[in-house]
Amino acid sequence: MNLPRRGCLQVYTGNGKGKTTASLGLALRSVGHGHKVFVIQFMKGSDNYGELEAARKYLPGVSIEQYGLETFVSKENPSREDKDLAQKGIARAREIVTAGEHDLVILDELNVALDYSLVSLDQVMGIISARPPHVELVLTGRGAHEGVIEAADLVTEVTLVKHPFYKGLEAREGIEY
Ligand code: ATP
Ligand code: MG
């Protein structure tokens, strides 16, 4: 008899705010139970994110690595370095997921990296299907690929209704980063 697999594939997508922070909330919940968490952030390279410092200082069970530059990636014309870093990130993601040492693996902004063709659909689907049964895998980022949505057990689409950015409020420390 096949036991139901415990680990699910979760996707947080859509154009509203809250996808990355939803996944970090999960990380907090998971580590609170003594589980091990690994976060790989694609297309991000700034060490000014509060979650990096929080994990370093207070959450030894949460590892976070970034595979991106500090600058925005151009969808039409991504740089060589943007692509190289995303490729390093996807290789690392595969290594971490298949090793199965972490209960929760979050691939933050991977949906965007795929949408921008920094990684291929085959690479993403390969990781999804190679994951051990106990690993909960979370992919975040707007514009999730139809194939990823199809493969997922849980998909949440965050809809933009209002965002203070549109009345001129810049990104705020502790809120947006
Ligand atoms: P958060 O990181 O706050 O959970 P997110 O992961 O849903 O947001 P992304 O799509 O990754 O958002 O956007 C990157 C950055 O832009 C974040 O700092 C986020 O807070 C901010 N942001 C999210 N949605 C919007 C929006 N509709 N307009 C402007 N900025 C946004
Ligand atoms: Mg995000």
- Radius of gyration (C-alpha) of the chain in whole angstroms: 16
Contact status, residue 104 vs residue 27, Cβ threshold 8 Å = yes
pTM of this prediction?
Answer: 0.95
- How much is the average pLDDT of 30-55? 97
Q: Percent of the chain beyond pLDDT 70?
A: 97
pLDDT in the model for residue 6: 86
- How much is the average pLDDT of 34-52? 97
What distance in angstroms lies between residue 23's CA and the mean position of ligand 2's atoms?
9
The strand pair at 62-67 and 37-42 is best described as: parallel
Q: Which of 120, 130, 84, 103 is nearest to 33 (CA)?
A: 103
In a domain, 1, yes or no: no
64, amino acid identity: I
pLDDT in tens, 123-133: 999 999 999 99
| DSSP classification of residue 72 | P
Whether pLDDT at 5 is above 80: no
- How much is the average pLDDT of 79-88? 98
| Ligand 1 pocket residue status of 160, Cβ below 6 Å | yes
Residue 154's domain comprises: 9-167
What distance in angstroms lies between residue 1's CA and the mean position of ligand 1's atoms?
44
Read off the pLDDT band of 1 (50, 70, 90). low
Compute the mean pLDDT over every residue in the chain, rounded to the nearest whole number.
96
Total domain count, the chain: 1
In a domain, 172, yes or no: no
| Ligand 1 pocket residue status of 115, Cβ below 6 Å | no
Read off the pLDDT band of 61 (50, 70, 90). very high
172, amino acid identity: R
CA dihedral over 108, 25, 50, 33, signed as positive or negative: negative
Q: Identify the CATH number of the domain in which residue 88 sits.
A: 3.40.50.300
| CA pair distance 25, 13, nearest whole angstrom | 15
In a domain, 2, yes or no: no
In a domain, 91, yes or no: yes
Q: Give the residue whose CA is nearest to atom 30 of ligand 1.
A: 165
121, amino acid identity: L
Read off the pLDDT band of 2 (50, 70, 90). low
